[in-house]
Structure 1
Amino acid sequence: MSDHPRTITLPAVQLPVLETDVLVAGAGTAGCIAAIAAARQGASVILVEKTPVPGGTYTNGGIGANSFYAMSTDPSAAKRVVGGLPYELSQRLMEQTGATGYYPTPNDPHHSPYRFVADHEIYKGVISQMLLEAGVTVLLQTICFAVLTEDRNISAALIANKDGCSAIAAKQYIDASGDGDLARFAGLEQIDMWQDYHTVSGGSTGLVFGMAGVDIDRMVKENPQGAVKLSSAELDVPGMCAEQYAFTTMKDPERYQAISALEMRPFTSMSSIHKGEMTYINNSKGVDCDATKALDYSTAELKMRVKIMQFANALKTTVPGFEESYINWAAIQLGVRASKITICDHMISLDEITSATRFEDEIGLFGFEDLMNYKHPECEIKDPGFYGFPYRMLLPKGCDNLLMAGRCVTTDIKAHMSTRNVPGCQVMGQGAGVAAALCAKKDCTTRELSYPVLRDALLAQGVILE
C-alpha cells in the first residue's frame, strides 16, 4: 500500500444521528464495565464494538486474572482491593459454573495470592446478560472511523455497520478501544508503545488458543524438565478444575527442537479449567506490529493463525501427553498488549506503583505487577501491596468530554505491565463510566466534576477505595 495513495472526493451526505448521554468505544475489558457503570448511574449509553462478541481479553483471550487482591505471599492475610462491577462479574461467572473462583497461589512468582480463571464461552453469556439488564444499547460489528470536534470537545463520532454510516452525538465519550482510537481521531497527543514491548516481554501481540484430548498427568510425568505445575485447586464446580502450568524448552532444547524452531518464547503459560483440556495456551511470542495500521494488524493476524497451527502440531509431535490432542478453540482476534498511549493529565509511573502511592482523587485500587519476578525485582509493590488509580489518569490532554479507560493510558513500559491487566482495566472502566454519567447529568466537563460527588457514586457502586 502506498504511503501517498490517490484520493477521491465524496459528495456531501446527510448522516442519521443517534443521540445519547454516553458513547463507549470498545466493548472489551474496560468498555463493558464502563457502559454498565454509566447505565446504572442513570445515563443513556451506546456501546460500539468491532467484533461479534463483547468482553475483550476474557472472551478473546481467556487469560486468568491474578489481581483482585493486594500482592502478598500469604493468601490468608491478603486484602481484596478490587470490588464493584469487576467483582460482581466474577461472582456471576461463578454462579453460572463458568469460573474457577479465587484459588490460593502462595508460590506465585508475582506474589499474587489468588488466581481467578473464567470460561470464555460462559463469560460471553454473562457479560451480555449484564449489558442487557443495564439497558445499554450495544452495536456489535460496528467500527468508529472518525470524530468531529469543536473547541475542546468531541461533538460526534462517525460509525459504520450493516446500516451504513451514521453519527453518534453524545454528551460524554469514553475511549475503551485499547488503541486510543477516539483520541487519535480527535488529534490528541499520543506515543507509540509497541516498539518497546520486546524489552519486557515476548512481543506486543499474541494469540491464545486451547487444545482438547491432552493427557495432562502424562505431560507432567514424562516432561520433568519441561512441564511444571505452578498451581492447582480442588473446586466444587461440576466439570471444572483449576490447574496452571509452565512449559519451557530452555532446560532441554534438543528434545523440544520442533518448538524452538518456531521462534516461540521458551516459556509458555498453560491453564486447564476442564479435564483433559489445556484450555488456555499463551506463549505470548507474537508478531510485533502497529495495531493502529490496518495492513500491519491484518498481516499479524494471519501470521499468528499460522503460528498457533504450527505450535499445536509441534506439541503433538514433541510433547508426551499431546499425541491425541487437537485445537478446540482460538481467540477470535489478535491479542494486543500495547499500541498507542494517549497522554493524560497524570501518567502513572513505575515508582508510584512500587511505592504503593495513594492519590487524593482515586477511582479505584490495584495490586499487581506482571514483571514482579526474579528478572525484575525492582517492580515489587511495597507494603501494603497495592496502589491507587487517580481520576486524572483517565483525562486526555486537550479534550474536556472524553475519558480514557484500559491499556492506552500508561507511558512507562514497566508500569504499563501492571495497569494493562484485566481487573485494572475494569477498575478504570467503572471509574470512567460513573464519571461520564455524572458529567452528562450535571452538564459539566470532565475536569469540572466534583471529586467528592464522584467518590460517593463509586462507593455506592461497590468500588473499594480504602
Structure 2
Amino acid sequence: MDIVVLGGGAAGVCAAISAARGGRKVLLVESQGCLGGSRTATGVDTFYGFYTPKRQERIVGGIPWEIAGQLTHANAAFERTNTYGAGTGITYDVEMLKVVYEQAVLASGAELLYHTYASEVHVSEGLITGVLLANKQGLTEVSANVYIDATGDGDIAARSGAPFEKSDTNELQSLSTIFFMANVDTAAAKLVSHQKLAAKMKEANRSGQFVLPREEGSWHITPNPGVIQANMVRVSGVDATDPYALTLAEVEGRSQTREYVRFLKECVSGFEQAFLVGTSHHIGVRETRRIIGEYRLTEEDVVEGRKFGDGIACCGAPVEDHGSGKDTRWVYVSDDGYYHIPYRALVPQKVNNLLVAGRCLSATHGAQASARNSAQCMAMGQAAGVAAVVSLEQNVQVRSVSTGLLRERLRSQDVIL
C-alpha cells in the first residue's frame, strides 16, 4: 500500500478519497460496519461548520461539499438553522450517508476494510513500518509509505510514540448518547422554544421527579416525518480511551436516554404519543487524545480568527465546550468570523510518516472544542490525503511537504482557503 488510513469517520473518508484520487493505492480501515463514525454510528445527523454563524458565509468546499450535495440530490438532506446559533447545519438521513460515503470511497479506487482494529503499531527510527490489524481472521500486518490517523482518539499516533495530551484543563468534554423518537407532533413541539424547553428541564429537576444531568439539550426534525433526533444526554468525567470506563458510560447513556424520553413524553407538548425508536450504536465522544504537533492551535487563535500561511481548512464554528455542568460554554469567532486550521496541526512530532485528521489534531482543549466540527474534520481529512500524496511525489517526510503546493492542490479541488 502507498497510504493506509486508519478510521473511517468524517476525516478518514475524505482522506481516503483524496489520496486515492491522487493515483495512490489506499487502504481505509474501519472498526465499525459502516463509514461515518460519529456522523452515522453515533447518530449525529447534522454537518456543522460549512457556514459561519454570523455572516452565513460558506467556508468549506471540496469533497465535504460534494458529499453534502449528493445527500441533497438524493432528497436525504436539508439545511437547518442551528438551535444555538452555531450556523446553518445540513441535516441528513443517517442511513443514506452510510451509502453515500461507501460509494464515494469505492468510486475513488480506495480499498475498504470493515470490522478491523489497528491493535499495534511498529516503529523504527521515527518511521512507522507496519500496523498490526485485528479482525475475525486474526492478526495481519499491513505496511505503507504514509499513514493517516483518523481514529478520533489518536490511537495510531499514541501507539507510534508521538506525544499527545488528553486535557490541559480540569476535565475532558462530556460524552452523549444520541437518540431518535418517532410519532412526534413536530408542529406542536416546535411551539416550545429552546428557552422554554430548558426552563422545563430545570423545573423537572427541581421537582425531584426527574434526574436530567444536562438542562439545555435540544432536539430537531429529520428528513423523516414525525422522527426527531435528540442530543440531551450528558455523561461526564469519562476517559473514553479506557474501555472499562467507556463501557460504564454506554450503560449510563442509555439510562439517561430513558429518563429524557420520559421527560419529553410527560412534560413537552407534541411528544405525548411519541416513542423511542433507537439510540446511537455507541456513545458519542467529543474529546480524548490530542496530538502535540508542529503547531498547537489555541483558543486565542480561534476567537481572534487567525489566518496561517499553511492553512488547509477554514473554520467559523464557535468554541462549544461540553463540561460536566448542566450548561455548555460557547465562545464565538470574532473578526470576519473564521480562522485557519494550519497544516502543522496535523503533523505529529517524532513520527515522520504519519498525519492525523479530525478531532485528535494538535489543539488546546478550547480550540479543539471548535475545530472538531464535522465539516472541518472532513476538510482536514481531504488535506491529509492530498499531503500524503504530495509527500510521496516529492519523496519527502510529511512535515517537509511544500505547503504552497499543498494549498495550490487543495484550491484546484474546490477547497476554500
Q: Which residue of 2 aligns with 1:445?
A: 397
Q: C-alpha separation between the residues in 2 aligned to 1:109 and 1:290?
A: 27
Q: Using the TM superposition, give the Cα deviation of residue 323 of structure 1 relative to its aligned residue in structure 2, in angstroms.
A: 2.3
Question: Which one-letter code corresponds to 1:94 in the other structure?
Answer: T
Q: Which residue of 2 aligns with 1:86?
A: 64
Q: C-alpha separation between the residues in 1 aligned to 2:90 and 2:207?
A: 32
Secondary structure of 2:119's match? strand
1:391-402, aligned counterparts within 5 Å?
391-402=343-354
Q: Which residue of 2 aligns with 1:428?
A: 380
**Structure 2 residue aligned with 1:335, among 263, 280, 284?**
284
Q: Which residue of 2 aligns with 1:16?
A: none
Q: Using the TM superposition, give the Cα deviation of residue 42 of structure 1 relative to its aligned residue in structure 2, in angstroms.
A: 1.2
Residue 53 (str. 1) matches residue 34 (str. 2): yes
Cα 1:279–1:251, aligned 2, differ >3 Å: closer, same or farther? Answer: closer
Q: Which residue of 2 aligns with 1:233?
A: none
2:52–2:317 contact (8 Å) kept in structure 1: yes
Q: Which residue of 1 aligns with 2:324?
A: none
1:149–1:156 contact (8 Å) kept in structure 2: yes
Query: For structure 2, which runs of at least 5 residues remain unmatched after alignment?
Result: 322-326
Q: Using the TM superposition, give the Cα deviation of residue 36 of structure 1 relative to its aligned residue in structure 2, in angstroms.
A: 0.7
Q: Using the TM superposition, give the Cα deviation of residue 62 of structure 1 relative to its aligned residue in structure 2, in angstroms.
A: 2.4
Secondary structure of 1:205's match? coil
Secondary structure of 2:187's match? helix
**Structure 2 residue aligned with 1:28, among 9, 33, 57?**
9
Q: C-alpha separation between the residues in 2 aligned to 1:27 and 1:273?
A: 24
1:211–1:325 contact (8 Å) kept in structure 2: yes
Q: C-alpha separation between the residues in 2 aligned to 1:87 and 1:310?
A: 37
Q: C-alpha separation between the residues in 1 aligned to 2:201 and 2:218?
A: 17
Q: Using the TM superposition, give the Cα deviation of residue 397 of structure 1 relative to its aligned residue in structure 2, in angstroms.
A: 0.6
Q: Which residue of 2 aligns with 1:116?
A: 90
Secondary structure of 1:170's match? coil
Deviations 1:294-318 (A, max 9, x none): 2111221122122213322332233
Deviations 1:420-459 (A, max 9, x none): 1111111111111111122233332102212222122212
Q: Which residue of 1 aligns with 2:123?
A: 149
**Segment drifting more, 273-282 vs 121-130:** 273-282
1:249-268, aligned counterparts within 5 Å?
249-250=198-199, 253-254=202-203, 261-268=210-217
Q: Which residue of 1 aligns with 2:50?
A: 68
Q: Which residue of 1 aligns with 2:175?
A: 205
Q: Using the TM superposition, give the Cα deviation of residue 189 of structure 1 relative to its aligned residue in structure 2, in angstroms.
A: 1.2
Question: Which one-letter code corresponds to 2:155 in the other structure?
Answer: D
Q: C-alpha separation between the residues in 1 aligned to 2:195 and 2:49?
A: 19
Q: Which residue of 2 aligns with 1:11?
A: none
Question: Which one-letter code corresponds to 1:25 in the other structure?
Answer: L
CA RMSD for the aligned pairs? 2.4
User: Given the two structures, how large is their TM-score scaled by the length of structure 2?
Assistant: 0.92
Query: For structure 1, which runs of at least 5 residues remain unmatched after alignment?
Result: 1-19, 222-226, 229-244
1:194–1:288 contact (8 Å) kept in structure 2: no
Cα 1:436–1:247, aligned 2, differ >3 Å: closer, same or farther? Answer: farther
Secondary structure of 2:350's match? coil
Q: C-alpha separation between the residues in 2 aligned to 1:406 and 1:388?
A: 14
Q: Which residue of 2 aligns with 1:387?
A: 339
**Segment drifting more, 452-461 vs 421-430:** 452-461
2:62–2:414 contact (8 Å) kept in structure 1: yes
Q: C-alpha separation between the residues in 1 aligned to 2:246 and 2:196?
A: 28
**Structure 1 residue aligned with 2:73, among 95, 99, 109?**
95
Residue 290 (str. 1) matches residue 233 (str. 2): no
Q: C-alpha separation between the residues in 1 aligned to 2:143 and 2:14?
A: 21
1:70–1:385 contact (8 Å) kept in structure 2: yes
Question: Which one-letter code corresponds to 2:280 in the other structure?
Answer: A
Cα 1:312–1:284, aligned 2, differ >3 Å: closer, same or farther? Answer: closer
1:99-248, aligned counterparts within 5 Å?
99-100=77-78, 102-103=79-80, 109-110=84-85, 112=87, 114-193=88-167, 196-197=170-171, 203-221=173-191, 227-228=192-193, 248=197
Secondary structure of 2:370's match? helix
1:346–1:393 contact (8 Å) kept in structure 2: yes
Question: Which one-letter code corresponds to 1:142 in the other structure?
Answer: T
Secondary structure of 1:333's match? coil
Based on CA coordinates, which of the two structures has the bigger radius of gyration? 1
Percent sequence identity over matched residues? Answer: 31
1:310-459, aligned counterparts within 5 Å?
310-371=259-320, 379-459=331-411
Q: C-alpha separation between the residues in 1 aligned to 2:307 and 2:209?
A: 44
Q: Using the TM superposition, give the Cα deviation of residue 321 of structure 1 relative to its aligned residue in structure 2, in angstroms.
A: 2.3
1:366–1:424 contact (8 Å) kept in structure 2: yes
Question: Which one-letter code corresponds to 2:361 in the other structure?
Answer: V
Q: Using the TM superposition, give the Cα deviation of residue 383 of structure 1 relative to its aligned residue in structure 2, in angstroms.
A: 2.4
Q: Using the TM superposition, give the Cα deviation of residue 260 of structure 1 relative to its aligned residue in structure 2, in angstroms.
A: 6.9
**Segment drifting more, 211-220 vs 329-338:** 211-220
**Segment drifting more, 53-62 vs 333-342:** 53-62
Aligned length, in residue pairs = 411
1:407–1:425 contact (8 Å) kept in structure 2: yes
Q: C-alpha separation between the residues in 2 aligned to 1:52 and 1:445?
A: 33
2:77–2:90 contact (8 Å) kept in structure 1: yes
Q: Using the TM superposition, give the Cα deviation of residue 353 of structure 1 relative to its aligned residue in structure 2, in angstroms.
A: 1.3
Q: Using the TM superposition, give the Cα deviation of residue 278 of structure 1 relative to its aligned residue in structure 2, in angstroms.
A: 4.2
Q: Using the TM superposition, give the Cα deviation of residue 391 of structure 1 relative to its aligned residue in structure 2, in angstroms.
A: 0.8
Q: C-alpha separation between the residues in 2 aligned to 1:183 and 1:453?
A: 25
1:194–1:340 contact (8 Å) kept in structure 2: no
Q: Using the TM superposition, give the Cα deviation of residue 194 of structure 1 relative to its aligned residue in structure 2, in angstroms.
A: 9.4
Q: Using the TM superposition, give the Cα deviation of residue 161 of structure 1 relative to its aligned residue in structure 2, in angstroms.
A: 0.9
Q: Which residue of 2 aligns with 1:232?
A: none
